[in-house]
Structure 1
């Protein structure tokens, strides 16, 4: 087996995430307590009890998902599950860096809190929008995006899988593009409930502020191969990490190509780590010939351990 760990991105959060792991595993409890100490408030209470309104604020969502993901990672490692490569969707790339040893958990959790705030502040509420486009040919979609640029900023934010691409930008331009895509054969265009047009050039102010924060932290050498969202290629040097993370905020997430690279390099088993199962769904759309598990609670952990034992 060649195993890849995939880390959840924003949108996967839900009230109650991580609580079972916290209650049952000391290593998970330690991570949540470290997060509370680093951030100066009870993140675990927000994760376990809500309310939704607070958990769904980008500046809270990001450290909450990262903490839940790393708590799950620590349990996986305690269970003796090893892995060969890591990647994370958008915010999840920071969890991947913690798994690869590049960034300490303490630095990562404070960094993504600021990242979330910067992204929230970059574009006033109501100005930007994001929509998921289902069942659309990539070339036709890119053509529609280009046609709508005269209306305003509209760009591809995420290439998630063959059946789902996300567009983002100024509200009017995104809506116009959505209408055009529906006319040209998209199965569905679904407006997303998000606070900004993430992974577009409109995030440049957030990118610039993030640069200042990244500059303050120390990086370690990668102990596990990691794939960047920006390039869909392996990060070859620690010196590339900060520039790629700065660029990532305002660049398309090349998730489909990242998964294909791993499969081409012999990965046959994927474990989604953290809340939700969106990434597992994307992998299934990309390839039916791989094993997919996830770890977010006791039930999924047990199922993953059982499934891996059968494959060995």
Structure 2
């Protein structure tokens, strides 16, 4: 029997205009943007639809904007009768999974992710941290490189995105050094990313501590479907496990490759990326191919894509 997973994108997937076609066709989507505006006390909806881009990409704006857009699209998906058996989200996207599965209210989630973005940005002064994507280099070789680059500062693995792609995070000089060495060692790509903070590394411990205080003050429930968390790469429905995972993921590596492999091992053969962009669609496809698994994968970031999926699924 076919199993479906909904997967939700993280920061970096935002773009001006995201979600605007859904509010024109689905009142349930409009309601989500209205709730977000009310919960945050400003028009995050206007930022999503009209920008400006320089404001939208700021961490404390991008995070609630992506969450809101993903939930708005998700509500349209649900209205069309499409459900899943298991869910996961990349970093910020894990909050979308928790809202979808009933573990967190949307209003609490959108407020806490705005603070999450603020705390992450404030944890490390601008210009101190950096991240880089390394593609096509053996993990053991990369680990050796990171060890040698630590002489220049903090440098750690932030994201295990796929067998080919790993993201590193830390202090700028150490990151640049590691990226240069990785390129010389044969990486097909080693590029410093245009991000404003070094996510998912030990430099963000101060942000993690502040976020933990916020998360302890909001209500969590056991989730209605299993969520594969970033830090454990295992499914859980227990509220305290889910809360702990959100706290830890701020300064710990995101185990996306392992999370997808867990879902594949559980028999998932259909993945649906819901939210702006198609980053996860590309990663999931590569992970499945590496594991020699045949899957169906769909991206739903526009109304047209939703209609195509609806027609395909015969829902």
Give the TM-score range, shorter chain: over 0.9
Q: Where does residue 295 of structure 2 map in the other structure? A: 290
1:305 correspondence with 2:306: no
Counterpart contact for 2:224–2:237, Cα < 8 Å: no
Following superposition, the deviation at residue 191 of structure 1 comes to 1.2
Tell me how far apart the structure 1 counterparts of residues 98 and 144 of structure 2 sit (CA, whole Å). Answer: 34
Task: Give the equivalent residue in structure 2 for 1:133.
Answer: 134
Aligned to 2:56: 55
Using the alignment, how far apart are the partners of 1:82 and 1:90 within structure 2?
22
Residues 67-86 of structure 1: matches in 2 within 5 Å?
67-86=68-87
Shift in Å, 1:236: 4.7
Per-residue deviation at 1:140? 1.3
Show the counterpart of 1:122.
123
Name 2:282's counterpart in structure 1: 281
Q: Tell me by how many angstroms 1:111 deviates.
A: 0.5
Structure 1 residues 280 and 74, CA gap change in structure 2 (3 angstroms): same
Query: Contact 2:222 / 2:237 at 8 angstroms: preserved in 1?
Result: no
CA distance in 1, matches of 2:136, 2:159: 14
C-alpha displacement at 1:145, in angstroms?
Answer: 1.1
Q: Which residue of structure 2 lines up, in the alignment, with residue 158 of structure 1?
A: 159
Which blocks of at least 5 consecutive residues in structure 2 are unaligned?
none
1:23, 1:307 → 2: CA distance? Answer: 23
1:214 paired residue number: 215
Q: Which moved more, 1:241-250 or 1:277-286?
A: 241-250
1:307 Cα deviation (Å)?
A: 2.4
User: How many residues are paired up?
Assistant: 310
Per mean C-alpha deviation after superposition, the further-off stretch among 161-170 and 140-149 is 140-149
The aligned residue for residue 231 of structure 2 is: 230
User: Can you list the C-alpha shifts for 1:212-271, whole angstroms capped at 9, x where unaligned?
Assistant: 110110111110100110011112521222222111000000000000010111000000
TM (normalized to structure 2)? 0.97
Q: Report the CA distance between 1:190 and its aligned residue.
A: 1.5
TM-score by length of 1: 0.98
| Structure 1 segment 1-312 matched on structure 2, within 5 A | 1-288=2-289, 289-309=294-314
What whole-Å deviation, never above 9, does each CA across 1:86-136 have from its counterpart, x for those lacking one? 100000000010011100000000000000000010000100000011111
* In structure 2, C-alpha distance between the alignment counterparts of 1:192 and 1:307, rounded to whole Å: 36
